[in-house]
Structure 1
């Protein structure tokens, strides 16, 4: 139904242009709101230290897990690398264990460096015991035992087989003796020479006997063996560094395109370096574990024959392998060596990969 109201006349201004009322004009749309985009550096600067630490630790854990999984993707190659590292580490470690076992035999070597202190004939038993007590309290003396003239004569009769002849003696010709056992820490030629001079200067002492030639030979042999083990350990550690460095270099070459992409999008050298460092660490730790297992099996295999040989010589010596703490130290040393080798390889080859 149409309305009977007349249409409103169109208004015209003075120039003749038509005008409309304000209510009839179309509304203008507001311009779109432009949001301010903050740069990435400003966002990172506003991150708290906890967020940064969480991101850093998350990337470390991801790098460690991914690098370990990559090694298991090529089990044969990883096993061969672990075996080479284990052999290079097990050789000096085996010599180290041998020296530890020789220290048990060294308890009998103390008798060879035992100092025999012969007392004067007119010394009473009380004076001899007082001197023995003073010598036992010295820091460089392990123990001091007094043998009276009567005990010395009884041992002579029993050991020499001349008991009948000794019974016809008018008096006991043997003096009292104090057997001084030096400590192994102080059992060096210079320390023993000082101890011998101190004992000789005592007014109650008639003579001091010590086989210094045997002690010097023993210590020269130990010093030579220690240098040999140190040199061998250094050469084999260098071999481990070269093996791990060559392995990391091949891994870097295989992932060259991935490294270029990461650097193009702004990845830092530390970010790119991290997975390869964990790879070297896993190679070292794996080689150390295999070396500890090989040493344990080897010394277990030799324990029974060595025990039988010791029993034939009436000795209580028993072969001992690496303990739990020493095994952990071996694994830690291997892991640190692998980490150093990976760091050297990454620092050298990663610098050559730069986006153009």
Structure 2
């Protein structure tokens, strides 16, 4: 009877041990989270106690982050604008003089049925002369000409989603068509635009890298001064047996706050810039009859800017605090 009565007691003890095992495993994790949360709040309170110096540092970081972010927004809008200009590119096919009007119209209709062509328009030599007469203002001089010097032209509008290489290949194939004397593409100005955009994009990357390095130096120098101001406190903590990880943690969270607050200030500066440029930007968009819409960073861009700010603040702190703490030893 004694043995049979011991079985429920053992099983109950085993069940109690199984229930207490998850709680014992969760206790260190909860302690770790609470320690980091307390350190996060304490580092923010430390920045608040010297709020003027902290605000100046965060403002400099915000300006350094706002400049490349503004260039990114500019590049995005210029890319959208270049795509709208890309849709306006047209190829001009100058026809041979012995080609009749009916043959030119038939050629224009046949070319318009090609998959790469959005539209094709035939302009006779006489219609082209009349258009030139109205636009140039040389009516009296043109009347003195015995013959019409202008050839018949077919204007070809490629599909808007075609790349520059595909448009170039289309131009070569159009020039080989029977009855076409020469084919030209009004794309020289677009090539110059793409070259300018490429220079602006490369400059944005260079400026962004330089300003990112500046943020690292700013955060690193600020943390270095903070460590020097707390040198005696750090020496006492090391004498009491505190680890470098425990001493380093508040400084790392200070770098986190510097980067986050700097990124928020960068967003505020970008918003102020958009407000200041609202009137000329509105005039520019109205000139395109609603075809052009200016946009800002967007939700993903805001998250990216916040992440970059936090990462730079944290990295600048890491690069400084490890080296400075290793040089401080109790005397």
User: So what's the TM-score if we normalise by structure 2?
Assistant: 0.73
Q: 1:217 to 1:49 in 2, by over 3 A?
A: same
Counterpart position of 1:290: 265
Q: Which structure would you say has the larger RCO, counting Cα contacts within 8 Å and 6 or more residues apart?
A: 2
Counterpart position of 1:242: 217
Residue 75, structure 1, aligned to residue 51, structure 2: yes
Counterpart position of 1:262: 237
CA–CA distance in structure 2, aligned partners of residues 114 and 245 of structure 1? 55
Residue 144, structure 1, aligned to residue 152, structure 2: no
Counterpart position of 1:351: 326
SS at match of 1:135: coil
1:138-217 equivalences under 5 Å are 144-148=118-122, 160-161=133-134, 174=152, 176-183=154-161, 186-187=163-164, 192-201=167-176, 207-217=182-192
Match of 1:109 among 85, 97, 103: 85
Residue 229, structure 1, aligned to residue 229, structure 2: no
Q: 1:155 to 1:63 in 2, by over 3 A?
A: farther
Offset, 1:102: 2.0
Q: 1:266 to 1:198 in 2, by over 3 A?
A: farther
Match of 2:313 among 338, 343, 347: 338
Residue 50, structure 1, aligned to residue 26, structure 2: yes
Offset, 1:335: 1.2
CA–CA distance in structure 2, aligned partners of residues 209 and 135 of structure 1? 20
Q: 1:286 to 1:174 in 2, by over 3 A?
A: same
Q: Describe the superposition over 1:70-123 as per-residue Cα deviations: whole angstroms up to 9, x where unpaired.
A: 111111111111111111111222222222222343244315643345689586
Residue 135, structure 1, aligned to residue 115, structure 2: yes
Q: Describe the superposition over 1:6-36 as per-residue Cα deviations: whole angstroms up to 9, x where unpaired.
A: xxxxxxxxxxxxxxxxxxxxxxxxxxxxxxx
Structure 2 residue runs of 5 or longer lacking an equivalent are: 1-22
Q: How many residues align?
A: 295
Structure 1 residue runs of 5 or longer lacking an equivalent are: 1-46, 137-142
Would you tell me which structure has more helix in proportion to its own residues?
2
Q: 1:202 to 1:267 in 2, by over 3 A?
A: farther
Structure 1 contact 260–354 (Cα < 8 Å) conserved = yes
CA–CA distance in structure 2, aligned partners of residues 204 and 331 of structure 1? 60
Counterpart position of 2:14: none
1:270-281 equivalences under 5 Å are 270-281=245-256
Offset, 1:354: 2.8
Structure 2 contact 174–183 (Cα < 8 Å) conserved = yes
Q: 1:259 to 1:215 in 2, by over 3 A?
A: same
Counterpart position of 2:194: 219
Structure 1 contact 64–275 (Cα < 8 Å) conserved = yes
Q: Describe the superposition over 1:166-210 as per-residue Cα deviations: whole angstroms up to 9, x where unpaired.
A: xxx9xxx735443214547x33xx565444334445669664311
Offset, 1:303: 1.0
CA RMSD across the alignment = 3.7
User: So what's the TM-score if we normalise by structure 1?
Assistant: 0.69
SS at match of 2:235: helix
Q: 1:198 to 1:175 in 2, by over 3 A?
A: closer
